[in-house]
Amino acid sequence: MNNASQLPEDYLKYIKHEAAGKIQNARWLTLKNKILKLYISPQQQSKTLLFIVEYIVKSSPREEHCLPSCPNPQIFPIIMPNYTLYYFNGRGRAEICRMMFAAAGVKYTDKRFEFSEWEKYRNDFPCNYLPCLEMDGGFRVPETMSICRYLARQYNFYPKSSMDIFRCDYICDCFYEIMHDYMRYFHWRNGRFRYDCMESGRMGTNMSSGMSSGMMNSNMSSGMMSPGMMGSNMTSGMMSPGMSGSNMSSGMMQSGMMSSGMGMGSNMGGGNMMNTNYDNYMQWRYMNSFNRIMPFMERTLAMRNGGSHFFMGDQMMWCDMMFYCCMENMYMENQSMFSSYPKMMGLYKRVASHPKICGYIKSRRMTNW
């Protein structure tokens, strides 16, 4: 239906001028909502689509769409949702949302908090967590990936087939796993999580001054570490297979996680030593995720067009934007990490130079993370 001339002239006249009366069929309601989403998308509309949109508006009660009955669909005052994106004053986990808004040409309010003021607003948000997207009526939705998938569906950043959607999702999840570990390491290294854990009492009252043997128990997982990390052998969240055991030997020692004489038991004397160990652990975890996932992503990119375009082929999807946003800080810190992944480095440059992205990158607010 891309070409209006393919439809009989009588049919077009009917679509344009006839009213359908009252329609109660649920499938029709779903279909016309999808058609209206196509109409407000940034893609160029065909003449046929404009005729069908006018038909939908004329055949629906005015209250349903909040649209006047207007003979010219080009000037329909389509009501767009009012979006407010809440996050801290950095790119971080919200940058992918901002980039998708920019690529879709959708206006939104970019509300940023400084870390120093976050405690005043924490309880106002679902899960006491950012980023959070607020829509009309004060409806707030947390979690980066949920927000991104909503935007991808709304603004056509998903491929068409279910298997391609599946592929797009796992690519995004893989990159977000790296970013999740990197962000935890970055903020711990720069003192934010250190402040939260030591001063807010999330690690227990005795842990800021020192640690006695046996204090590394499951209660530490809630504020700092992934569930199951701090068991008696510290195996599940911290080590890869083969790294468990009382001496926690080969993998951790070689990765620089722990230096000699700095075990996580009775040898830990004070808070500074604990911080040093956790610094090493967070860096090890981030680098472990990076080295596990990146080779697979390089091969995944090469599966379409030899890796010379985008992850899903010729068109940029939200998985390409996710890749760029997740890798940006790491790339700026240490480009040599990416030398083994030339196809993805080519993709990084293609996303940055994409017509829908390059203007946003030049005009956005620059922060150090």
Q: Which residues are catalytic?
A: 87, 93, 188
3-state secondary structure the chain: CCCHHHCCHHHHHHHHHCCCCCCCCHHHHHHHHHHHHHHCCCCCCCHHHHHHHHHHHHHCCHHHHCCCCCCCHHHCCCCCCCCEEEEECCCHHHHHHHHHHHHHCCCCEEEEECHHHHHHHHHHCHHHCCCEEEEHHHEEEECHHHHHHHHHHHCCCCCCCHHHHHHHHHHHHHHHHHHHHHHHHHHHHCCHHHHHHHHCCCCCCCCCCCCCCCCCCHHHHCCCCCCCCCCCCCCCCCCCCCCCCCCCCHHHHHHCCCCCCCCCCCCCCCHHHHHHHHHHHHHHHHHHHHHHHHHHHHHHHHCCHHHCCECCECCCCHHHHHHHHHHHHHHHHCHHHHCCCHHHHHHHHHHHHCHHHHHHHHHCCCCCC
Q: Exposure of 175 by Cβ count < 10 A (0-12 exposed, 13-18 middle, 19+ buried)?
A: buried
| Spatial distance between the Cα atoms of 202 and 225, rounded to a whole number of angstroms | 11
Q: How far is CA 113 from the centre of its chain?
A: 18
Contact 369, 322 (CB under 8 A): no
